[in-house]
A and B are shown apart, each in its own frame.
Chain A
Amino acid sequence: MTKRIRSKISRGSAELAILALLAEHPLYGFEISKQIEEKTDGALRFTLASLYPMLYDLEKRGWIAGRWEPNRAGRDRRVYSLTPAGKKELAPLRREWNLFFQALDRLAGVTNA
């Protein structure tokens, strides 16, 4: 049970993290994992094994789209950007997580911990 809840939290939050990052600007896989790690001071980290299946899932659902482009070093990388459908999904997802944290805070005082 605990494992299932953890898995749901991590999956849902990972999707939100990716969509929110891509809402700012298109990125390729390595940049996504690097930025998530940097922006969360290492609290969240994506390995290759956790990141790409998630990206493919999101792409299959039409929320993100990938295309090959050369990076700054001139090497081809698959750059992902948020689609209009992904933009539409992001707002309710953010609201839902906000509600969830507010509820958890009222219950357990997590923000003051």
Chain B
Amino acid sequence: MPDKPMSDKPMPDKPTPDKTNDWAALVREQLHPLNLPASDQEEVIAELAAHLEDLYEQELGKGISESEARNKVMDEVVGWRALAKTIQRSKSQEEIMNPRTKHFWLPGLVSLTAAMILLTPLIAISMQPRFLGRSPLQMVLLPWLALLPVCGAAGAYLSRRGGGNRRARLAAGLFPTIALFTLGAILVPTRLLTFAHPEWRYGLIALALGIILPSAALLLGALPFLHESSQVQGFPQTPIER
């Protein structure tokens, strides 16, 4: 196979070893398209230069010549442009979704939305004239409680899929009642304080019907997704890849 014609122009991704051993200057020059804030950029350059310097000294310690040691160091990075891009991606603070969103907020909001979507038609049906005599417990609460495990399961499942730990999965599954509890914690005391003789009994009933029972129903659905899987799904990955 004939040799490729040699060009005098150095290949852009393969720097020529410099004679001054100024590793920082070399790294700065080669990583030129690195688009990071100035302080980050300087830190990366200093760190990579330090690595090259240590490697160069290690090679020299093996008794080889300076030029051989420099060539060895230069072999460490085959593609500087690719490295610049990878570092930029790794250093970039912009993520499509941060872990907390993936583990908790998004699954939790799905669970809450599903719970509210299921509740709305139940309330609408119960208000129709032919059902007006029926108890809201029978018409709204019981069917809603029967459907809530699906919402809890959806929240916990999505959190697990996003790499959430057990606590995040539980919180995502119970998110509808966490939201209700937060709302209640603000509204109920305000309402009770406005009455001269507050009916604490009603407050407790509301707590049971609005928080405890729905929490139990949501937990029922979330339970299967709270266990740590004993199976390895495909090749082991870390949350970076999930």
Contact = CB atoms under 8 A, between A and B. Distances in A.
Contacts of B48: 48, 52
Interface stretch (B60-68, B149-157, B199-207, B233-241): B233-241
A38 to B, nearest CB: 12
B91 interface: yes
- The A interface, classified by DSSP as helix, strand, loop or mixed, is helix
A5 B55 CA distance: 31
A30 B83 contact: no
A interface, size bucket: 35 or more
A89 B237 CA distance: 12
A57 interface: yes
Contacts of A100: 232, 235-236
A77 B50 CA distance: 7
Contacts of A30: 50-51, 54-55
Interface string A4-39: 010011011001100000000000111001100000
User: Chain B, interface size: which category?
Assistant: 35 or more
Residue among B44, B48, B90, B99 with most chain A CB within 10 A: B90
Nearest to A92: B228
Contact of A61 (B53, B87, B235, B240): B240
A61 B97 CA distance: 12
Contacts of B47: 29, 52, 77-78
Contacts of A28: 50
A43 B54 CA distance: 21
Nearest to A33: B51
Contacts of B234: 8
A78 B238 contact: no
A60 B50 contact: no
Interface stretch (B3-11, B72-80, B122-130, B217-225): B72-80
A57 B240 contact: yes
Nearest to B50: A77
A97 B236 contact: yes
A49 B93 contact: no
A12 B238 contact: yes
Contacts of A76: 46, 50
A11 to B, nearest CB: 7
Given A12-B236, A96-B232, A96-B236, A49 B91 contact: no
Given A48-B51, A49-B77, A60-B91, A12 B235 contact: yes
Interface in B180-216: none
A95 to B, nearest CB: 9
Contact of A99 (B44, B50, B76, B230): B230
B14 interface: no
A78 B47 CA distance: 7
B77 A78 contact: no
Interface of A: 5, 8-9, 11-12, 15-16, 28-30, 33-34, 47-49, 51-54, 56-57, 60-61, 75-78, 89, 92-93, 96-97, 99-100, 103
Interface of B: 43-44, 46-48, 50-55, 58, 76-79, 82-83, 86-87, 89-91, 93, 99, 228, 230-232, 234-241
